[in-house]
Structure 1
Amino acid sequence: MGPKAKTKSIQNRKIGGKSDHLSREKQPEKVTELKEGFHRKEDTKDIWSPNIKTVFKALASARLCAAVWNNITDCDETYNYWEPLHHLLFGSGFQTWEYSPVFALRSYLFLHLYALPAWIYGLIFHSNQVLVFYFLRWLLGFASTTCETYFYKGVLQQFGPKVGRLTFLFLLFSAGMFQSSSSFLPSTFSMYMTLLLMGAWFQGNFVLAVLSTAISAFLSWPFAGIIGIGIAVDALVLRKKWRMFISWCIISTFVILIPIILVDSYHYGRLVVAPLNIVLYNVFSGHGPDLYGTSPWTFYFLNGFLNFNFIFPLALVALPAHLITRKLKPIKNQSFPIWLALLPLYVWILIFFTQPHKEERFLYPIYPLFGLAGAITWTCAESCLRALKLSEKFVQSVTLALVISSSIVSVSRIVGQYRGYHAPMDVFLELNRLSWENEGDTEEYNVCVGKEWHRFPSSFFLPNNMKLRFIPSEFRGQLPRPFDPPPNGTWTIPPHMNDLNKEEPTRYVNAPLKDCHYLVDLETGQATEREPQYSQMTSEWEIIFQVDFLDNARSPQFLRAFYIPWFSETYCKRIPYVLLKRRPISNKKKRQR
């Protein structure tokens, strides 16, 4: 055998044998590219991507950190989810008007998904309420990790290793994913379902994709069904799988909706279809959610940058970037058009960006799509750079610079949020410490809040012998009320409830301050008749614990959004978040009274 024949034989064995660094699954695609003539030198350097185990471990580390250090940023999370869950588990908690049987907007089956593992955990370990809270936070982080890993697998299969690894890195360090992944909200659950349904769709599993869409729409948030629009177009228009799609839509509806109706009807004491009630209120009530505030059109653009920084504008231009560079074929061999994969993102933006009432959590379901769309845009940008005959080393350096800079900004945002706004959880943890020190004390205490009612981290942070009570503040909307005790606490129609956010004076303690043993407050330095400076009333109150809280009004906007060492400490102003204790009344004062 001659030298040329030997060389050819060795090359053939390398392509088909164990020495080849590509897996056997990739070999047909590799050979096809060689035959068709568009395999390029740089492609061989770009076939690497993290394996599934590595991705899972990295995401688990990040989401576990979120479970421990994430703030509760939305009072809706506390009063509409943590509080009813606390009532199911421990028999006490606050009830909002959405849980009144008159309105019945929220599903109890959604709460039971979390109540069951929390009950099992408490039963096995006999844990206190704080540990149950953090156990559920960890469970949320684990659920996010699992769904993100599955989503990554689908992206890898559909769009290749370039888009796959960029999507993974963009989501791993994202401040938005850090915040949303461990939040106890329907929009977070819908984000999990977005990860599942998109991952299943990318892997060709239409049954799981349809089922995940239905779970998201019926069990957590009806409007999240919008995410399934791409699946519907693909199944009905491109693939003509009418029978399969319609059959599984019907099956999913019955399998999911019937248990929801049964559980909710039991808890509310009447026939209830909670997903329908949410739609009726938000779309057809005449006032909808606008009662709770409106925001300018810039709200989501600012929010998107805060949570995804440079990745957010890249995500917004993913479709134009794809259309401009499609002749360069930056992404090949996907089973359906890229515009179809981006369709759910753009439809969501079109609908929610134009609504007057805007909230950060409304974007949670599409947070993973920001990472995917940003990765698609940058992959297209890399193709443009290569088309300009720039060196591969330069292209890789620019990509690395983007990933590192974006990750640093995200970590800066996460650290800034924790350092600036974690005080409420620290104060209520201090209450638990005081309770543990006085174990055996059977006296009941009232912990009062005024303007800080919306930062209460939930009854999971209240010791068993303490109750939260409201005192008047400048907030003139409707506050929640305690659930009636079990077993009929959920189906009793509570008095003084309205769906117009009108103030209900019955929510306040009968004798303001006199019934308060402890008081939690933020010392802003500004006093009104309904919001005095309680710490200045030294004859009645003493500060027993305080933590620094970021003063938004007197801190630079950029430095209160992102933490920068030295600059944040120097230029940001902080004010005390205090825990006050009522001073004992002296004998002389008692005689005077």
Structure 2
Amino acid sequence: MVRSQPSFRLRQNASQQPRKNSHKTAQQKTTKTPPNKTTENSGGLVYPGGDTAFKALLSARFCAAIWSHISDCDETYNYWEPMHYLVFGKGLQTWEYSPQYALRSYTYLMCHAAPAYIYHKLLQPNPLLMFYFIRCLLGLICALAEVYFYKAVCREFGVHIGRVCLFFQIFAAGMFISSTAFLPSSFAMYTSAAACAAWWQQRYPLAIFFTALGSLLGWPFAALLGLPIAYDMLVRRKMYVDFFAWAVISGSVVLLPMILIDSFQYGRVTIAPLNIVLYNVFGGAGPNLYGTEPFTFYFINGFNNFNFIWILALLSPIAIILGHFFLPMKNKSTLYLPYWLSISPLFLWLAVFMVQPHKEERFLFPVYPMICLCGAITVDIAQKLFFRVWNLIKTVPHGTHYLDITMFIMVATIGVTGICNVSRIFALYKNYHAPLDLLIELNRFPAEFNVPERAIINVCLGKDWHRYPSSFFLPNKNWNVRFVQSEFKGLLPAPYSVGNNATYVVHNHFNDQNQEEPSLYFNLSKCHFLLDLDVGKETELEPNYAEMKDRWKVLKSYRFLNAAKSHRFFRAFYLPFVSEKFVQFGNFSLLQSTKLRIK
């Protein structure tokens, strides 16, 4: 008796199509389905159409814009604060924006400040509304890049991998965190996703342009993600003229305006991307001044933000190798590129950044969509391998599709990872959202207590300076953020100078060694408001201000996680009725001076 062979007969676009198909043929196949349907049916396989995917992604990104906290003080002080200066003429400046260092680009800021400025001039909104307006705009840009990425994944890898990848993108806590962060690493995530999508569709000029945009306007190190594209064009396809021509065109289109704008802002010729590379790589003080992390940092952080998707992504090379040896040849190819080259941006990035002593969560943002894709690839290969083993154990009818037997693997994976991601998002909101909530309360204060519009108010920060969300949360330009002395001994930001030439004034209080500058501290007795976190630990410079009833009045308090006294797992993931037993909270309070009148 001859055992029937396992059938990997694929409904059109259900999985990888042979590479030998021409670009024209593939394009004809993908255009048979009307693009305006909410879902598409590829020979019996139902998957979200482009418009449905965009609506789902946009909804998820708007949720992130509203509920995500600011997880990195670099976002506040290097981007929100300088943009506040560009819009209102007032904000905090870091040493990286001092002309003698000029590590950051004002061009990048202006691309975001322009819509905020127009919104401000047309409608005169509360600055707080402008903050969320920009966040929603970032969410829109991210959703557009992601849906382009999703459609390219469906075409290059098959719609089954595409729809699993889409579910991972929508629910992943990492995408929730990074999608609306006002950071160059998030911008590089948008552009790298778009560059990969263009690359997989053989739109090489567009792929080069997105790579140039992300690495020059956004984050210079994102150029690393363009190496696989360069390899494909130069080594595999010998497209020397096209590559160098489009590289020069794209670089010129992005870099020349940047040099003009940044040079005008800094008062001298400035190439900001070059300066940041020189500082971090070639002889500058380097980022290690701001802390180092062990090799395991990204493994733990990756699991926190992607849970089992992260593990599946890391296993994708092993899954591809197993698929190569144990699956029929016709089902192992993508449309144009070999698997190893398509997923190489993720592992190239990890190989470089995991060995760097200075590690931060945001450094992995540019490859977050690739994590979702590689996780989806592993799920698809696992389904095919399971189907093959199942056929060896129990013969299935000839012509049975592998998804008919293995759909439970996909459903279980999406279900488990989805629950873990929602748990992570809830934990982040419950544990760390208090600073934004307190500043929203402060924003209401002038209206509720009839504070004069022209009153000069000082809002002070001590040890919790790094949790401040930005000056967009202050009611108007007459409210100032100030720093009082604490146990922190590094360099703090300083207010921009007053006047038209503020961006090219060189200050003596800035340095690139993270050395404390005492002149930046404010007199505590002149503070009208103070934000302070009580976690049951006091020092001479960091007393419990909320207990000083004769000096401070508590206006509002919110719970904030006491990480030192909380279980590592339960502070990362929220389990109803369970987490509360394993975590402890402190009180993050908004305090008002009882001795200083507002007038």
Shift of 1:124: 2.2
- Partners in 2 of 1:506 and 1:584 — Cα distance? 24
CA deviation vs aligned residue, 1:193-242 (integer Å, no higher than 9, x gap)? 01110011111110110000011111111110011111111111112211
CA contact (8 A) 2:135 2:181 kept: yes
Q: Secondary structure at the match of 2:216?
A: helix
Cα 1:468–1:325 shift into 2, 3 Å: same
**What is the aligned partner in structure 1 of residue 187 from structure 2?**
189
Question: What is the identity, as a one-letter code, of the residue corresponding to 2:355?
Answer: T
* 2:136 maps to 1:158: no
* 2:495 maps to 1:482: yes
Question: What is the identity, as a one-letter code, of the residue corresponding to 1:442?
Answer: R
Q: Secondary structure at the match of 1:300?
A: helix
Shift of 1:561: 0.4
Shift of 1:285: 2.3
CA contact (8 A) 1:229 1:343 kept: no
Question: What is the identity, as a one-letter code, of the residue corresponding to 1:318?
Answer: S
- Partners in 1 of 2:506 and 2:79 — Cα distance? 19
CA deviation vs aligned residue, 1:310-368 (integer Å, no higher than 9, x gap)? 01111112122112212415443521111111111111111000000000000000001
CA deviation vs aligned residue, 1:286-329 (integer Å, no higher than 9, x gap)? 54100000000000000100111101111112122112212415
- Partners in 2 of 1:144 and 1:462 — Cα distance? 27
Q: Secondary structure at the match of 1:388?
A: helix
CA deviation vs aligned residue, 1:445-465 (integer Å, no higher than 9, x gap)? 111110010000000011223
CA contact (8 A) 1:159 1:331 kept: no
CA deviation vs aligned residue, 1:68-101 (integer Å, no higher than 9, x gap)? 0010000000000000000000011110000000
Question: What is the identity, as a one-letter code, of the residue corresponding to 1:301?
Answer: F
* 2:260 maps to 1:262: yes
- Partners in 1 of 2:148 and 2:274 — Cα distance? 30
* 2:513 maps to 1:500: yes
* 2:521 maps to 1:518: no
Shift of 1:187: 0.2
- Partners in 2 of 1:227 and 1:363 — Cα distance? 12
**What is the aligned partner in structure 2 of residue 10 from structure 1?**
none
- Partners in 2 of 1:313 and 1:163 — Cα distance? 17
**What is the aligned partner in structure 2 of residue 4 from structure 1?**
none
- Partners in 2 of 1:555 and 1:539 — Cα distance? 32
Question: What is the identity, as a one-letter code, of the residue corresponding to 1:514?
Answer: S
Greater RCO (Cα-Cα under 8 Å, separation 6 or more):
2
1:206 corresponds to which of 191, 204, 220: 204
CA contact (8 A) 1:196 1:209 kept: yes
**What is the aligned partner in structure 2 of residue 575 from structure 1?**
586
**What is the aligned partner in structure 2 of residue 466 from structure 1?**
479
Cα 1:331–1:165 shift into 2, 3 Å: farther
- After the TM superposition, which segments of 4 or more aligned residues of structure 1 sit over 4 Å from their partners? 24-30, 43-46, 390-394
* 2:369 maps to 1:357: no
- Partners in 2 of 1:360 and 1:585 — Cα distance? 40
Q: Secondary structure at the match of 2:261?
A: helix
Shift of 1:380: 1.1
Shift of 1:25: 7.0
Question: What is the identity, as a one-letter code, of the residue corresponding to 1:467?
Answer: N
Shift of 1:440: 3.4
Cα 1:29–1:388 shift into 2, 3 Å: farther
- Partners in 2 of 1:216 and 1:573 — Cα distance? 40
Question: What is the identity, as a one-letter code, of the residue corresponding to 1:450?
Answer: G
Aligned residues: 550
CA deviation vs aligned residue, 1:453-480 (integer Å, no higher than 9, x gap)? 0000000011223211100111100000
**What is the aligned partner in structure 2 of residue 347 from structure 1?**
348
- Partners in 1 of 2:562 and 2:167 — Cα distance? 33
- Partners in 1 of 2:220 and 2:453 — Cα distance? 47
Q: Secondary structure at the match of 2:358?
A: coil
Structure 1 stretches of 5 or more lacking a match? 1-14, 16-23, 31-42, 587-593
Q: Secondary structure at the match of 2:281?
A: helix
1:220 corresponds to which of 202, 218, 221: 218
Question: What is the identity, as a one-letter code, of the residue corresponding to 2:47?
Answer: S
2:466 corresponds to which of 454, 465, 474: 454
CA contact (8 A) 1:95 1:481 kept: yes
**What is the aligned partner in structure 2 of residue 180 from structure 1?**
178
Cα 1:333–1:552 shift into 2, 3 Å: closer
- Partners in 1 of 2:532 and 2:27 — Cα distance? 65
Cα 1:86–1:497 shift into 2, 3 Å: same
- Partners in 2 of 1:207 and 1:141 — Cα distance? 25
**What is the aligned partner in structure 2 of residue 99 from structure 1?**
97
**What is the aligned partner in structure 2 of residue 51 from structure 1?**
49
Name the % identity: 47
Shift of 1:160: 0.8
- Partners in 2 of 1:149 and 1:27 — Cα distance? 18
Question: What is the identity, as a one-letter code, of the residue corresponding to 1:543?
Answer: V
**What is the aligned partner in structure 2 of residue 427 from structure 1?**
438
2:167 corresponds to which of 169, 181, 192: 169
Cα 1:538–1:493 shift into 2, 3 Å: same
* 2:126 maps to 1:128: yes
- Partners in 2 of 1:442 and 1:126 — Cα distance? 17
TM-score, structure 2 length as denominator? Answer: 0.89
Question: What is the identity, as a one-letter code, of the residue corresponding to 1:581?
Answer: Q
CA deviation vs aligned residue, 1:539-589 (integer Å, no higher than 9, x gap)? 111111111111112222111101111112333222110011111379xxx
Question: What is the identity, as a one-letter code, of the residue corresponding to 1:322?
Answer: I
- Partners in 2 of 1:228 and 1:361 — Cα distance? 19
- Partners in 2 of 1:486 and 1:50 — Cα distance? 53
Cα 1:471–1:439 shift into 2, 3 Å: closer
Q: Secondary structure at the match of 1:204?
A: coil
Shift of 1:393: 4.8
Cα 1:27–1:237 shift into 2, 3 Å: closer
**What is the aligned partner in structure 2 of residue 278 from structure 1?**
276
Cα 1:108–1:29 shift into 2, 3 Å: closer
**What is the aligned partner in structure 2 of residue 380 from structure 1?**
381
Within a 5 Å distance, the mapping from 1:68-79 to structure 2 comes to 68-79=66-77
CA contact (8 A) 1:52 1:153 kept: yes
1:564 corresponds to which of 553, 558, 575: 575
* 2:347 maps to 1:334: no
CA contact (8 A) 1:46 1:161 kept: no
CA contact (8 A) 1:86 1:460 kept: yes
**What is the aligned partner in structure 2 of residue 89 from structure 1?**
87
CA contact (8 A) 2:84 2:472 kept: yes
- Partners in 2 of 1:286 and 1:247 — Cα distance? 32
Q: Secondary structure at the match of 1:48?
A: strand
CA deviation vs aligned residue, 1:480-521 (integer Å, no higher than 9, x gap)? 000112311101112211000000001101x3x211111110
- Partners in 2 of 1:501 and 1:280 — Cα distance? 17
Shift of 1:49: 2.1
Cα 1:29–1:153 shift into 2, 3 Å: closer
- Partners in 1 of 2:76 and 2:272 — Cα distance? 19
**What is the aligned partner in structure 2 of residue 534 from structure 1?**
545
- Partners in 1 of 2:299 and 2:482 — Cα distance? 37
**What is the aligned partner in structure 2 of residue 236 from structure 1?**
234
Q: Secondary structure at the match of 1:49?
A: strand
Q: Secondary structure at the match of 1:67?
A: helix
1:137 corresponds to which of 135, 138, 142: 135
CA contact (8 A) 1:79 1:94 kept: yes
Cα 1:136–1:331 shift into 2, 3 Å: farther
- Partners in 1 of 2:104 and 2:27 — Cα distance? 51
**Aligned Cα root-mean-square deviation (Å):** 2.0
Cα 1:26–1:282 shift into 2, 3 Å: closer
CA contact (8 A) 1:46 1:162 kept: no
Cα 1:321–1:505 shift into 2, 3 Å: same
Q: Secondary structure at the match of 1:448?
A: strand
CA contact (8 A) 2:54 2:144 kept: yes
Within a 5 Å distance, the mapping from 1:105-120 to structure 2 comes to 105-120=103-118
- Partners in 1 of 2:286 and 2:341 — Cα distance? 31
